[in-house]
A and B are shown apart, each in its own frame.
Chain A
């Protein structure tokens, strides 16, 4: 008997992993080399700062082994720099898997780290931060120093998270990195997908596809529902200018533009990779702890 197997399905949810470092700087001249590792439910980022200035980072998918993901991410950030793990003065772990970072000197919650990271990335005028992570979504208000004033988190359901978007990318066979642009290619905004739950929203979207809706329209309906969901979270916590978005979904122009429209407020343009905000904040905490003499 001959069994013909179909080709392995493409993983449309898979985003590009990458690392970066600044070759113009010499880490050997730095007084404080601070590290930050954000082990999230979906992705892990490692950031290295030299005396409080961004030097290197990596962004990769979190595997099933959190300690291993943390080590791999930090080693990947150090790639081609000549730096070794023992060269780090102090490291702070954050994120969902923060307790599983074997080389971290301290752990800090991702809420505090995202506020601190956003303060560095967007400047001291940021007062409201929306972190749209892989498995949760956080509305944070902070002061001019990046200290949290209030926060609200949704980690009970996948609506408004990166994982929810990955489900839709796979369903519609559209690369996760193209979802945002594609969702804007509609002449008229469709009504949002009515289901709050991602599982039911997927069922609803399947029905819309069967009814003849093009992919662009279905994506527009989902991005719109996601934006509405996070706006209600933001409004409950209060929204104050300036407003910034961090996390992977901040790269999705389809969701970001709809959030801006609902809030009637423009989000600040990112100068750095929005996914490293948590790890960047952790590295800033690490530097501050060394300076306080706790390192």
Chain B
């Protein structure tokens, strides 16, 4: 499943997409620890898979929550995406 967390507003599209098919097979979920803003968490989804999700409190402000890790914040590579060994995590912006 592709779970898209985020929103689209007048300033653009801001979604974090999780490929839960890949994510469920990842034993360490390194992306959760890699995120300095604690945006991600491990949940048990509706199909009983252990996958990551964007925390509820960040879903409507994801553009701002993730801003420190974007190139304008001086980062070359987004830490959570870099930590995802299976390529199951993507940012739309």
A residues with CB within 8 A of B? 108-109, 111-112, 147-157, 196, 232-233, 236-237, 285
Known: A109-B46, A196-B10, A236-B13. Is A151-B4 also a contact (CB below 8 A)? yes
Residues of B with C-beta under 8 A to A155: 7, 59-60
What 0/1 readout, one digit per residue, does chain B (22-59) give for beta carbons within 8 Å of chain A? 00000000000000000000000011000000000001
Cα A233 to Cα B2 in complex, Å, equals 15
Cα A286 to Cα B67 in complex, Å, equals 41
* Min CB–CB distance A91 → chain B (angstroms): 16
Say yes or no for B8: interface residue by CB 8 A criterion.
yes
Residues of A with C-beta under 8 A to B59: 155
Known: A149-B2, A150-B1, A151-B3. Is A157-B9 also a contact (CB below 8 A)? yes
Cα A233 to Cα B10 in complex, Å, equals 14
* Chain B positions 41-93 with a Cβ under 8 Å from a chain A Cβ: 46-47, 59-60
B: interface residue count bin: 10 to 19
Known: A150-B4, A151-B3, A151-B4. Is A156-B60 also a contact (CB below 8 A)? yes
Cα A237 to Cα B15 in complex, Å, equals 11
Residues of A with C-beta under 8 A to B2: 149-151
Cα A230 to Cα B7 in complex, Å, equals 13
Q: Which of A150, A151, A236 contacts B8 (CB 8 A)?
A: A236
Q: Which of B1, B3, B8 contacts A233 (CB 8 A)?
A: B8
> Can you report 16 residue pairs joining A to B where beta carbons are below 8 Å apart?
A108-B46, A109-B46, A112-B46, A112-B47, A150-B2, A150-B3, A151-B3, A152-B4, A154-B7, A155-B7, A156-B7, A156-B9, A196-B10, A233-B8, A237-B4, A285-B46
**B47 and A147 contact, CB distance less than 8 A:** yes
Cα A154 to Cα B4 in complex, Å, equals 10
Q: Which of B1, B10, B46 has the most CB of A within 10 A?
A: B46
Residues of B with C-beta under 8 A to A237: 4
Cα A157 to Cα B8 in complex, Å, equals 10
B residues with CB within 8 A of A? 1-4, 7-10, 13, 15, 46-47, 59-60
Given contacts A155-B7, A156-B7, could you give 8 more A-B pairs where the C-beta distance is less than 8 Å? Answer: A147-B1, A150-B1, A150-B3, A151-B2, A151-B4, A152-B4, A154-B8, A155-B60
Cα A155 to Cα B54 in complex, Å, equals 14
Residues of A with C-beta under 8 A to B15: 152
Cα A155 to Cα B61 in complex, Å, equals 12
Residues of B with C-beta under 8 A to A109: 46
Kindly report which residue of chain B lies nearest to residue A108, judged by CB atoms. Answer: B46
Kindly report which residue of chain A lies nearest to residue B46, judged by CB atoms. Answer: A112
Residues of A with C-beta under 8 A to B47: 112, 147
**B8 and A232 contact, CB distance less than 8 A:** yes
Kindly report which residue of chain B lies nearest to residue A150, judged by CB atoms. Answer: B2
Cα A108 to Cα B47 in complex, Å, equals 9
**A148 and B1 contact, CB distance less than 8 A:** yes
* Min CB–CB distance A153 → chain B (angstroms): 8
* Min CB–CB distance A212 → chain B (angstroms): 29
Kindly report which residue of chain B lies nearest to residue A197, judged by CB atoms. Answer: B10
* Min CB–CB distance A125 → chain B (angstroms): 19
Residues of A with C-beta under 8 A to B9: 156-157
Cα A154 to Cα B60 in complex, Å, equals 9
Cα A155 to Cα B56 in complex, Å, equals 12
Cα A111 to Cα B7 in complex, Å, equals 16
